[in-house]
Every structure is written in structure tokens, then in C-alpha cells.
Structure 1
Amino acid sequence: MSAPDANTPSMISGHAQYAKGYVAETIGNITGSKEWQDSGKKDAQEGINEMKAANSAKTSQPAASGLGGRVEELTGKAAGYEGMEKEGFERQEKAN
């Protein structure tokens, strides 16, 4: 099995990008910095876009994962992406 291409969409890097954006936007909201708010929104949207692309490119069923599934479920819920939310829930169910 070969390593994934750096340009291939990934749920993990998408989650990380989304989290980075969420934190930056929150800091901007707290400090009143429009630059941090805008940067955070942009990063969060890029993360959502990458997760959507990774989800549409997948060819297998979700793997079992308790904690990872929970993170995916909550991220999907926060982003309004029902497919990701459902897949995260399925990962948790398989882990139990």
C-alpha cells in the first residue's frame, strides 16, 4: 500500500483544518479582531470542503473508531454535513 498523495483529500487533515479555523475564529470573536474572524472562517470552510471531497472520494465503509467517530460526528453536526455526522455515528457503533 502506498502513502497517500499530499494533494488527496483527507478526513483527518480536513478535521485539523476545520479545528484550526474554529479556534482562530473564536479568538477573533473574543478579541474583536476581524482579521482573525475572517481567517478562521476561511480555514474552517477549507476544512469542510476537504472533508466533503474526502467523503465523496471514499470507496469503502467507515472503519470502527470510538473517539475518531465521535469527533467526526460532532464536526459533521457543527458543519451541517449530515453525511459526515452519520458516518461518525456508524464508526462509533462499530467500535462498541
Structure 2
Amino acid sequence: MSSNSAEPNKSTGQYHSLKGTVVEAVGNLTGAESWQESGKQEHAQGEAEYKAAEAKGYAEGTVDRIGGKKDSIIGAVTGDSTQQNAGNLRKNKGEAQQNINS
């Protein structure tokens, strides 16, 4: 994962994956084994960071989807349309976040 951030990030994961691929390709063209190896490592780290960010986003979406559904049901049962609407919005946001990260 990226050493300058505690949280996994899709953008930096993609950047490091692409950069690693380029470094590896340069190593392949020049025969520089150290570049080949460092490129492979950076590509793998970038892919791992991307997948970790994706999993984190999916999990956060799940929390919003379930919490929103709960709030929507409680609002419907208690007749609180504000809570019901807020719950529906949160549920929809969670579903969208899951779709983006699946």
C-alpha cells in the first residue's frame, strides 16, 4: 500500500499499479532486472491497495444500506416520515456505494 497514507485509496492504487507496469516494461526492454523486480513489486502493491480500498468502500456501503433500511422501517412504523425519508436516502446511498465498489 501507499506509504504516505493510512487509508487505502483507489486512485493511488491505480497510479502505483500503472507506474509499476511501466517500470517493469522499461526493465524488460533494457534488461535491468532490478527495474523488472521493483516494477512487479510496485504493481502488486498498487493492485493490493486498490482492492483494499474497494473492499472498504463496499463495507461502508453495506453499513449505510442496512442502517438506512432500519431507519426507514422505524420511521414507517412510528409514522415519522422525516426519519423514513432519511433512511431511504441513506439506504440508496449505501446501495450506490456497494455497486461502485463491487
Query: Shorter-chain TM-score: which interval?
Result: 0.5 to 0.7
Cα deviation digits, residues 39-95 of structure 1 (max 9, x gap) = 000000000000110010002132xxxxxxxxxxxxxxxxxxxxx7xx6xxxxxxxx
User: CA RMSD of the aligned region, Å?
Assistant: 1.8
Residue segments in structure 1 that go unaligned for 5+ positions in a row: 63-83, 88-96
Corresponding residue for residue 55 of structure 2: 56
1:39 and 2:47 equivalent? no
Per the alignment, residue 26 of structure 1 pairs with 25
How far, CA to CA, are the matches of 1:50 and 1:27 in structure 2? Answer: 23
* Corresponding position: 1:14 with 2:13: yes
Aligned AA (2:34): E
Deviating beyond 6 angstroms after TM superposition, the runs of 4 or more aligned structure 1 residues are none
Residues 7-53 of structure 1 deviation map (CA, whole Å, 9 limit, x = unaligned): 11011000000011000000000000000000000000000000110
| Identical-pair percentage | 33
Deviation at 1:6, TM superposition (A): 2.4
Report what 1:75 is aligned to: none
Q: Could you tell me the TM-score, scaled by structure 1's length? A: 0.58
| TM-score, L = length of structure 2 | 0.55
Answer 1 or 2: which has greater helix percent: 2
Equivalenced residues, count: 60
5+ unaligned residues in a row in structure 2: which ranges? Answer: 62-96
